A and B are shown apart, each in its own frame.
Chain A
Amino acid sequence: MKAGVIVYPGSNCDRDAFYALKLSGFKPYFVSTKDNLDDFELVILPGGFSYGDYLRPGAVSARESSNVKKFAENGGLVLGICNGFQILVEMGLLPGGLLQNKNGKFICETVELEVVNNETPFTLMYKKGEVIKLPIAHGFGRYVIDKQPNVVFKYKEDVNGSDQNIAGIINGNILGMMPHPERAVEKIMGSDDGIKLFKSLYEYIRGGKK
């Protein structure tokens, strides 16, 4: 089961995503935005500071990602984590915008999230309402809405000023989230609550539900 991790100039969570995919049974590959993605079951846009986040986080990368857009529009599963979420929003594949945290600071800590929606390919191994712990590490994680999105994860507390404490949203086959499930896939990392997200995807695709 092939999964691609897009490496943008400035991505820095690509290896973590690769490791999490491998641990969940996928055969992961590092790919660039120029590569053909037709063979993949899943594509991940990892965290980092693609193109230095010049102009706005994710803005430049979003204009470089026509293959990702094509893959997503053909129904391929796409997961954007942190900077990947910002890229998906800039691409217009997910609604809303991501702005500087309300305290003006970069926040790096482990936070509690509620799984609001477990009826997605990304969350089917979680229980609805389950509280999980995942790390966040972002300066521009304040999610603002222009229309009501389909919410998947919410922060249990207001950590960055996001509207409705939203931490992750879905649009059909495309999920974007600020917290880092790939940095919480083994107990030794402080939490392994993130592994179920990757295993959910594996089971979903294996079940032929794609």
Chain B
Amino acid sequence: MQKFKFVIDIQYKSNVRDPRGETIARVLREEGNIPIESIRIGKSIHGEVQAESKEQAEKLVIKACEELLVNPVTEEFKVEIK
């Protein structure tokens, strides 16, 4: 067994409004004078997993996403194994 580092990037689906992102983009435009068009705020989860191979590590992390870490109704995710 080897130890693999992983990073999961979770974002709201593109059709789901993100009020936090909208507010922060507006503040940057109006108060900061920075021409930010839009912002979407998601979250990233970093961790380590024991697995036989990189492929198996990816499968395990995707399983964790499907079982708890991501709500498939509102969110989408990408997994990176390092």
Contacts and interface: CB of A to CB of B under 8 A. Distances in A.
Interface of A: 55-56, 59-60, 63, 89-90, 95-97, 99-104, 144, 146, 161
B19 A59 contact: no
- Chief secondary structure at chain A's binding surface: loop
B29 interface: no
A55 B45 CA distance: 10
Contacts of A97: 71, 73-74
A209 to B, nearest CB: 32
A144 to B, nearest CB: 6
Given A100-B19, A102-B17, A102-B19, A63 B74 contact: no
Contacts of B16: 99, 144
Given A97-B74, A144-B73, A103 B68 contact: no
A62 B50 CA distance: 26
Nearest to B19: A104
B73 A55 contact: no
24 contacts: A56-B71, A59-B68, A59-B71, A60-B68, A63-B67, A63-B68, A97-B71, A97-B73, A97-B74, A99-B12, A99-B16, A99-B17, A100-B19, A100-B20, A101-B19, A102-B17, A102-B19, A104-B19, A104-B20, A104-B23, A144-B16, A144-B74, A146-B73, A161-B19
Contacts of A60: 68
A100 B23 CA distance: 13
A102 B12 CA distance: 14
The residue among B17, B20, B67, B69 with the most chain A CB atoms within 10 A of its own CB is B17
A89 B19 CA distance: 21
Contacts of B67: 63
B74 A103 contact: no
Interface in B1-53: 12, 16-17, 19-20, 23
Nearest to B73: A97
